[in-house]
Amino acid sequence: MASGSGSGSLMWFRKGLRIHDNPALERAAQSTKFLYPVFIIDPHYMEPDPNAFSPGSTRAGLNRIRFLLQSLADLDLNLRKLGSRLLVLKGEPSQVLFRCLKEWDVKKLCFEYDTEPYYQALDIKVKDHASIAGIEVFSPVSHTLFNPADIIQKNGGRPPLSYQSFVKLAGQPSWASSPLSVTISSLPPVGDVGGCEISEVPTIKELGYGDIEQDEFSPFRGGESEALKRLKESIDNKEWVAAFEKPKGDPSAFLKPATTTLSPYLKFGCLSSRYFYQCLQDVYRNVKRHTSPPVSLVGQLLWRDFFYTVAFGTPNFDQMTGNRICKQIPWNDNNELLVAWRDAKTGYPWIDAVMTQLHKWGWMHHLARHSVACFLTRGDLFVHWEKGRDVFERLLIDSDWAINNGNWLWLSCSSFFYQYNRIYSPISFGKKYDPNGDYIKHFLPILKDMPKEYIYEPWTAPLSVQTKAKCIIGKDYPKPGQFCYCDCFSWFLLLVPHDSASKECRRKMAEAYSLNQKLNGKVSEEDLKKLRRKLEEDSEDTKQEVKTKRMRQKLIC
Ligand code: FAD
């Protein structure tokens, strides 16, 4: 056992990688001789997986892992300024934690409350262990504006399913009018760490990633310091904050994005959403007029809390089966279509550019996310939303369990939003914002010399234009409606042109909605199978009809 122990407390960082507005850290620092600030690297999350479709671990793309390491390094630096440091350990989190609690004779364990199923299960184990060992546990809600459990209780035990009802129930946060604790002047020293294997924050290389070649790195640098800097830049522009109105804003703006770009910092808790909220309220108090929820910036934070609340109160929120708020739809699981979308090879430059930004940056504008999510699911390809969710979950730096699943449910018209006839065009939607195609040219340099008349539909460019632009469609860049790039040598028929694909999707959605209505949402696997078969037959019938019509026309001619 470590010497001088017996009066130690342990601050377990998971998200909440910050000093400001961190009630768990504050409590951990109170009345204790020693404070052990700990982060546990879970190999499953961090170790390289050579079989994954993109560089990274089994669960996370490299951009997010790099962002996390940068955030930890910044946290360590900030802790050192306060007389402490970050203790980095490796292994299965509960096992490592239990060992530290024993070795350091910890009397108080503090960590931020987390609503994700992974942490819910882990935290039960940890709390049970602490209770048996007589360790005090403090686990406050500080990742969101509200405690999701309170809202659900106010609503009679079920989460509100519309934003409006959520906002009404939530009201003003209890802490809104009193200042949050944003600074700490010093922290108790770290005690003797005994036999526990402590390391510095590892680098990407030390984790085994080697030198990854990348032509463009994500512009997001992790950490609380960067988060507060970016927050200040946004907040200082009072007029911009006051006039912020989403969904207005240009999804193709990449030199200066149209929104705050704070989501990666909120995801890891480098930035407190409550502090962000208070800063916004300060701006509102000092301007004559400002926008309001749902379109304002405060409105965006409320969207975040809305999805957290529904996700927390809905069993199986992250899947279609067994999810009571999710329409049962006979999605396909066509892997070739999924891969074409995932690898930015659909032949629609707008879609492929957005997916490339996802790979390179790990972040895209909200409406860009809308267009690619709609395209994959109910708009064109009719691929299961869970497959798209998985790709986002891996590649987004801001990848957030509640928000990502919530938005995929929304975009696929599986929940929250049901107007499946409203489909984003993969051609005209982007063109509206960026007629020159600068965004496409940046993220898809193969199209950089394509004249703007053809940039959204390069397959319509005459061969002479394609030759001049050094981009032959169907060879250097895929052609939608005909080919999809599969491997180095083969191209094959895969995607259907947008007009017919979206028409077919609408038909399938109409049938699925009508089945859900008829069975009052109680659609079984068998019912879905039957519907899938019927839809396939009908579509065969349509193809046959078209063929017969064409034959007749030929005969008449
Ligand atoms: P701003 O417009 O500046 O908003 C400020 C903050 O409000 C954001 O950082 C975010 O925390 C919150 N916010 C904004 N829009 C939403 C929204 N629609 N739902 C919930 N919270 C919101 N956001 C994530 O943080 N993580 C995800 O994994 C994620 N997955 C998404 C998947 C799909 C299919 C779609 C359509 C959207 C997804 N979003 C996700 C929501 C949204 O696109 C991002 O939060 C936003 O684009 C981040 O940019 P920003 O920080 O500049 O946002």
* pLDDT score of 215 more than 70: no
C-alpha to C-alpha distances, 355 to 130, 246, 261, 371, 489, nearest whole angstrom: 45, 22, 17, 10, 23
Average pLDDT over residues 323-346: 96
Q: How far apart, in whole angstroms, are the C-alpha atoms of residue 337 and residue 463?
A: 27
Q: Say what the pLDDT of residue 123 is.
A: 97
Distance of CA 22 to the CA centre of its chain: 23
Protein residue closest via CA to atom 47 of ligand 1: 366
* pLDDT score of 108: 98
Largest CA distance in the chain: 99
Lowest-confidence region among 27-36, 125-134, 535-544: 535-544
User: Which residues, listed in sequence order, are joined to residue 548 by a DSSP beta bridge?
Assistant: none
The stretches of 348-497 forming alpha helices (DSSP H) are 349-361, 366-374, 385-395, 401-411, 428-433, 438-443, 463-468
Position in ligand 1 atom list of the atom nearest CA 267:
25
> Which pLDDT belongs to residue 486?
45
Is the pLDDT reported for residue 419 higher than 50? yes
| Per-residue pLDDT, 552 | 56
Q: What is the pLDDT of residue 58?
A: 93
Pocket test for ligand 1, best of 277, 300, 391 (most atoms within 8 A of CB): 300
3-class secondary structure, 91: coil
Model confidence at 5: pLDDT above 50 = no
Question: Is the separation of the CB atoms in 311 and 401 below 8 Å?
Answer: yes
Range of lowest pLDDT (6-10, 78-82, 108-112)? 6-10
At 3, is the pLDDT very low, low, confident or very high (cuts 50, 70, 90)? very low
- Which distant-in-sequence residues (6+ apart) come within 8 Å of 265 by Cβ? 224, 226, 227, 230, 231, 271
pLDDT at residue 1, rounded to an integer: 43
Percent of the chain at pLDDT exceeding 70: 92
Residue nearest ligand 1's atom 17 by CA = 303
| Minimal-distance CA residue to ligand 1 atom 5 | 300
d(CA 36, CA 34): 7
What pLDDT score was predicted for residue 536? 87
Ligand 1, atom nearest to 249 Cα:
2
pTM of the model: 0.95
Q: Which residue has the tokens 């830049």?
A: 233
Atom 49 (ligand 1) nearest CA? 261
Determine the distance separating the centroid of ligand 1 and the alpha carbon of 398, expressed in angstroms.
8
Protein residue with least CA distance to atom 22, ligand 1:
304
Band of pLDDT at residue 181, cut at 50, 70 and 90: confident
Which stretches within 134-223 are classed as H helix?
148-154, 163-170
Strands (DSSP E) contained in 205-339 are none
Confidence of residue 538 (pLDDT cuts 50, 70, 90): confident
Residues in contact with 267: Cβ distance below 8 Å, sequence separation at least 6, in sequence order: 15, 397, 398, 399, 400
Q: Give the pLDDT score at 316.
A: 98
**Residues ≥6 apart with Cβ < 8 Å to 132:** none
Binned at pLDDT 50, 70 and 90, residue 549 comes out as low
pLDDT band for position 197 (cuts 50, 70, 90): very high
How far apart (Å, rounded) are the C-alpha atoms in residues 378 and 374? 6
For the residues of 10-35, what is the DSSP string, one character each? EEEESS---STT-HHHHHHHTT-SEE
User: What pLDDT was estimated at residue 7?
Assistant: 79
Report CA(433)–ligand 1 centroid distance (Å): 20
pLDDT exceeds cutoff 60 at 557 = no
Do residues 65 and 56 touch, judged by C-beta distance below 8 A?
yes
Buried b (16+ CB within 10 A) or exposed e, 75-108: bbebbeebebbbbbbbeebeebbbbbbebbbbbb
Evaluate whether 105 touches 135 at the Cβ level (below 8 Å).
Answer: no
- The helix (H) or strand (E) run that includes residue 501 is helix 498-518
Atom of ligand 1 nearest to the CA of 263: 9
Residues 51, 57, 58, 64, Cα dihedral to 10°? -130
pLDDT confidence of 334, banded at 50, 70, 90?
very high
Distance 148 CA to ligand 1 centre (A): 18
Average pLDDT over residues 287-313: 98
164 confidence band (pLDDT: 50, 70, 90): very high
Which pLDDT value is given to residue 545?
A: 59
Question: Do residues 52 and 137 touch, judged by C-beta distance below 8 A?
Answer: no
Q: Range with the lowest mean pLDDT among 32-46, 119-133, 304-318, 470-484?
A: 470-484
Whether the predicted pLDDT of 2 surpasses 50? no
In terms of phi and psi (left: phi > 0; alpha: psi -120 to 50; beta: otherwise), the region of 489 is: alpha
Of the two residues 491 and 554, the one the predictor is more confident about is 554
Distance between start and end Cα atoms, the chain: 95
pLDDT category at 178 given cuts 50, 70, 90 is confident
Give residue-wise pLDDT tens across range 166-177.
Answer: 999 999 998 988
Beta bridge mates, 332: 383
β-bridge partners, 87 = 38
Q: State the Cα–Cα distance between residues 357 and 352, nearest whole angstrom.
A: 9
Signed CA dihedral, 173, 403, 150, 159: sign only: positive
- pLDDT score of 111: 98
Distance, CA of 226 to chain centre: 20
Q: Which atom of ligand 1 is closest in space to residue 388's alpha carbon?
A: 34
Ligand 1 atom at minimum distance from 264 CA? 25
Band (pLDDT 50/70/90 cuts) for residue 542 is low
Mutate to test the pocket of ligand 1, among 403, 404, 409, 424 (most ligand atoms within 8 A of CB): 403
| Average pLDDT of the chain, as a whole number | 93
